[in-house]
């Protein structure tokens, strides 16, 4: 599935701004961004719920707007909300969505039983969903999108509001789908999920795709795998005026108490530390760490992803 030059505005708000990316079979692609970045709008356009102002979505060579029913057959959508019927049982929910996806009653029954087993819900399949825990409901929500074996699965923040154990179980299931060859577009604002789950990650903010690539590729944007965090009374310090500093380091973030810098070359870390401790400011602590996606986001937007 590829998205090319996708744009969507709501009044004066540009929710999605010329976004392009592709998801391949068997790939788990993460769209990472804070709330309001445009992740759900992008997903809604791909799912056919919203019409883009510009750009197009192509699935298996078919343009969504040219043949919506055919494009929809490739798709399984797991909305962020629990789009299931709480009065019905897990089995009834799965069978219902299976029937809507075009399965016969028998096919839906067999496939629902398979999924209930795979999602570890078989023993409570006949109970109303309203009696389930949050994690179990999330699993039903996921299962409802899988009845027709979609080739592309859109997962919109599927782990919001569930406990770590339930999250781990759900993510394990998602990894299994990816291993079986399903292309997965996964939106999240959890850094750890994107880092550990996704093969490629697109960073979205204010509707724009700021960067994309593997975790390593994104880390490289910061100049390698080393970041130095200096803590101390930085006051009105102006790093640009420090002799030789700009040639060796790039400032990622600066506050009155903290300075985050990336090394521009690949010398021994001890040499960097010596340089940093020799700076004309009073440094209380220096930490060396591997850059994560938050640092990438910080570098791209000047803001912390968690803000």
Partner 1 sequence: MNLLGILLVKDLRRVARNPWPWLIHLALPLAITALVGLAFGRGGAPGTELGRIRFALVDEDDSALSRLLRGGLGQGEGGKYLEPVVLDRATALARLQANELVAVLVLPPHFTRDYLTGRGPVTLELIKNPAQSIHPAVLEELLGALVTGLNALARNLGSEFPAWRAALEEGADYRRVADLIVRTGEKLDTLRRYLDPPLIGYSREVRPGEAKSRPGLNLFGYLLVGLATMFLLFQANMVMSDLYREAAGRTFARYHTLHARLTPFLAAKGVFVAVMVLLGAAILLGGGGWLFGIRWQHPGVLALLALGYAVFAAGYTAVFAALVTEARAADALSNLVAMVLGLAGGCAFPPQALPAFLREQVTPLLPTAWLAQGIRELEFGSAAVDWPWILLRLTALGVGLLGLAAWLFRRQFARGQRI
**Closest CB to partner 1 among 77 and 136?**
77
Q: What is the DSSP letter of 201?
A: E
**Closest CB to partner 1 among 49 and 277?**
49
Q: How far is the CB of 93 from partner 1 (least distance, A)?
A: 9
User: Binding residues for partner 1, per CB under 8 A?
Assistant: 44, 47-51, 68-69, 72, 75, 77, 79, 81-85, 87-88, 92, 96-97, 99-102, 105, 128, 144
Q: How far is the CB of 134 from partner 1 (least distance, A)?
A: 15
Rounded to whole angstroms, how far apart are CA atoms 236 and 281?
10
**Closest CB to partner 1 among 102 and 269?**
102
Q: How far is the CB of 109 from partner 1 (least distance, A)?
A: 13
Rg (CA), the chain: 23
**Closest CB to partner 1 among 13 and 278?**
13
**Closest CB to partner 1 among 102 and 302?**
102
Helical residues (DSSP H) of the chain, grouped into ranges = 39-46, 68-74, 90-100, 105-118, 134-143, 164-179, 191-197, 215-220, 245-248, 269-277, 293-301
Q: How far is the CB of 118 from partner 1 (least distance, A)?
A: 20
Q: How far is the CB of 147 from partner 1 (least distance, A)?
A: 10
Rounded to whole angstroms, how far apart are CA atoms 237 and 262?
18
Give 153's strand partners. Answer: 76, 184
First to last CA, the chain: 31
């Amino acid at each position: 599935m590829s998205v090319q030059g996708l744009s969507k505005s709501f009044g004066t708000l540009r929710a999605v701004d010329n976004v392009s990316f592709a998801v391949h079979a068997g790939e788990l692609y993460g769209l990472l961004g804070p709330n309001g970045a445009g992740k759900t709008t992008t997903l809604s356009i791909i799912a056919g719920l919203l019409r883009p102002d510009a750009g197009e979505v192509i699935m298996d060579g078919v343009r969504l707007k040219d043949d919506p029913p055919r494009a929809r057959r490739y798709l399984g959508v797991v909305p962020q909300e629990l789009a299931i019927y709480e009065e019905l049982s897990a089995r009834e929910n799965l069978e219902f969505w299976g029937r809507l996806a075009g399965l016969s009653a028998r096919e839906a029954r067999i496939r629902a039983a398979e999924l209930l087993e795979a999602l570890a819900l078989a023993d409570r399949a006949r109970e109303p969903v309203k009696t389930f825990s949050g994690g179990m409901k999330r699993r039903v929500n996921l299962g409802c999108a899988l009845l027709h074996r979609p080739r592309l699965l859109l997962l919109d923040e599927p782990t919001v509001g569930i406990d770590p154990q339930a999250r781990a179980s759900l993510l394990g299931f998602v990894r299994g789908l990816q291993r079986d060859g399903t292309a997965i577009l996964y939106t999240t604002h959890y850094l750890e999920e994107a880092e550990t789950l996704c093969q490629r990650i697109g960073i979205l903010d204010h509707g724009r795709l700021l960067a994309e690539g593997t975790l390593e590729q994104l880390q490289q944007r910061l100049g390698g795998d080393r970041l130095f965090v200096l803590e101390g009374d930085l006051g009105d310090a102006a790093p640009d005026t420090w002799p030789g500093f700009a040639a060796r380091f790039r400032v990622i973030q600066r506050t009155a108490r903290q300075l985050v810098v990336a090394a521009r070359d690949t010398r021994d870390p001890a040499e960097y530390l010596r340089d940093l401790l020799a700076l004309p400011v009073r440094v209380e602590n220096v930490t060396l760490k591997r850059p994560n996606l938050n640092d990438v986001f910080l570098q791209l937007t000047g803001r912390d992803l968690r803000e």
